[in-house]
Amino acid sequence: MLVAKYYNNNDIRLEEIPIPKIGPGEILVRVRASGICGTDVMEWYRIKKAPRILGHEIAGDIVESQSDKYHPGQRVFVSHHVPCNECKYCRAGHHTACDTLHSGNYDPGGYSEFVRVPKINVDYGVYVLPDQVTYAEGTMIEPLACGVRGLRLIDIRADHTVLILGCGISGILNIQLAKLTGARVVATDINEYRLKKAKEFGADEVLHAAQDLNLKADRVIVCTGAYAAVEQAFRCIDKAGIILLFAIPNRDIAIPIPDFWRNELTVASSYGAAPADLEEALALIANKTINIQDTITQTLPLTQIQAAFKIVAEAQESLKVVLEP
């Protein structure tokens, strides 16, 4: 089968490897669509484990099954990371802190024609797609679920002003989710195309990130890895407010300690999604509560993955890029 092996952002090689063999409780999925995550082009983060086959947002068809739960022909989304549901973190509701979640994956990765889904992923991370959800939309279940989890952690209410820094795909998803709470949403970016998209997807106000933001927000969601956005978050957070690090810069952040202490600020982080978040995200997509279709701006074949990575890394006139193996 064809796979795309990542060496660095500018060196992704198409190779042929054998189709994985499945074992008891496992399934084999033909990948029909595979989303490119913003973290995949964070070279400082990914290159540590290169070379490897990336891709963790997939939807496809079951072609072989040794599981009693699923059968060939079913259209599915498959979660790459699943929790054990038994450790102290899972029991406390912190599934994304589970060691099992951080150590598991499917084989070999989403940028391939087929993936073997291990038994634990079959047990806890396979979701049958309703007929009205396309394969491409199915790849968005995990990104949306990350937003679902993040917003739940910071308890947004209808009387809040929410500032979203960065209007790439994660920012656009967070805008839509925040609007569901009834909050006022302000969004910023340095890219005019993305500011336009933020307005189209429901932001009440959009501002260029370079201008002086004369506002105080109850919640700030950082959806860009730009360090300047973290600094801006602390300038714009209101007393007793919460800053959510949804995206992260490539270095440690500095916290203005006097303001942090005196104004009772909270800095929170959100990583990944738990099964309950994925289920909620699938429902939001299936019911058309969230506009996912229009967030997918480019679809390319797997053979053009290098060009697709360039589109995502340059972050110009694009939101979500999906590959079709």
* 204 confidence band (pLDDT: 50, 70, 90): very high
**pLDDT single digits (tens) 246-300:** 999 989 999 999 999 999 999 999 999 999 999 999 999 999 999 999 999 999 9
Q: What is the pLDDT of residues 45-85, one digit of tens each?
A: 898 889 999 999 999 999 999 999 999 999 999 999 999 99
- The beta-strand segments (E) located in 109-228 are 114-117, 126-128, 161-165, 184-189, 205-208, 217-222
Count CB atoms within 10 A of the CB of residue 18. 7
On average, the pLDDT of the chain sits at 96
The H helix count followed by the E strand count for the chain is 12, 15
Supply angle C-alpha 249, 142, 316, rounded to 5. 50
pLDDT at site 212? 87
Going along the chain from its start, the domains and CATH numbers come out as 2-140+292-324 (3.90.180.10), 147-269 (3.40.50.720)
State residue 44's pLDDT score. Answer: 87
Which residue bears the tokens 């994304």?
96
pTM value is 0.96
